[in-house]
Homo-oligomer: A and B are copies of this chain.
């Protein structure tokens, strides 16, 4: 029996910010989706409501024990004026994998996708239309039981909020400087690294703050056990083109399985460009650089899509990649993915989900 979504429309409409003044994650639309969980009812009471503050008891577990998960995806406006999503089913699958790791009850992925589409359709006017802009979709689950015992919560809220976001690259795709992180660790096998949970992001702030002061855009995370193998860059997955082959760290339990990561791999295979998921150490990368074989490096994630790495600093040595310029392959991947996302290019992968079509079941 499928739940229905009760809709309460906002009586007022916020003023929409000018497209060229949009920042990431500061402006939110007029409505939000909220669904509650409690024992023994399960997930229930699905509603689209006016965007509003939550009333949360100060003893609610989310404030104390960090039991939370989230996702991030975008709605894009096509040249025809359609709203569309990029592989949303993968975000919802991952949300449920995160739920499992954090002892949060699973959601019905098909229903959640229906809810997201209904919310985005209602807020379609909020999707900005200029180059590179989009409507960021943030589904998240918080533990709301008013209880200080360390145990899985018995109450949750699943919430979806929407935020119009400006172009990530205001002046075209642009390489960044990255520092290899030697002190702090993002995640370790057996921990929560492959789950999209708040604690992973909280623990990353310190390294980010220190490296930002030194002029770096992000840090390159090494594994937490040997501090040797490359894991992620900032909050993105990472790829290296070495001697014609593209290498990305294999999923090992401490790396987040990015939707963009998976799309890059599929795209490269489609193009018959060699791509391999395997362990890669910082020493191996350094050797490849010294041998002149490190051709390109880039991060891959929903926010930037592709973020070229122009310089990698490790133990005070600056590895300048592709003369600090965006590589050809990086640019091609960026163009193709964004063209598919914005409906400017054919989607041979069945990645696009139109907002106004019924939910399809994809795996």
Give the B-binding residues of A (Cβ under 8 A). 24-26, 28, 32, 51-59, 62-68, 70, 101-103, 136, 138, 140, 142, 146-152, 159, 161, 163, 183-192, 197-206, 208-209, 224-225, 227, 234-235
Contact = CB atoms under 8 A, between A and B. Distances in A.
A224 B163 contact: no
A232 B59 CA distance: 25
Given A63-B142, A142-B63, A163 B148 contact: yes
- Which of A51, A53, A184 is the most central at the interface, judged by chain B CB atoms within 10 Å of its CB? A53
B199 A198 contact: yes
Contacts of A185: 188-191
Contacts of A152: 205, 209
A55 B58 contact: no
Interface of A, secondary structure class, is loop
Nearest to A51: B58
Given A199-B197, A201-B65, A224 B70 contact: no
B188 A59 contact: no
A122 to B, nearest CB: 16
Contacts of A208: 150-151
Contact of A199 (B56, B147, B199): B199
A59 B102 contact: no
A234 to B, nearest CB: 8
A201 B150 CA distance: 7
A148 B137 CA distance: 11
Nearest to A136: B148
B58 A68 contact: no
A187 B57 CA distance: 29
B58 A197 contact: no
B68 A24 contact: no
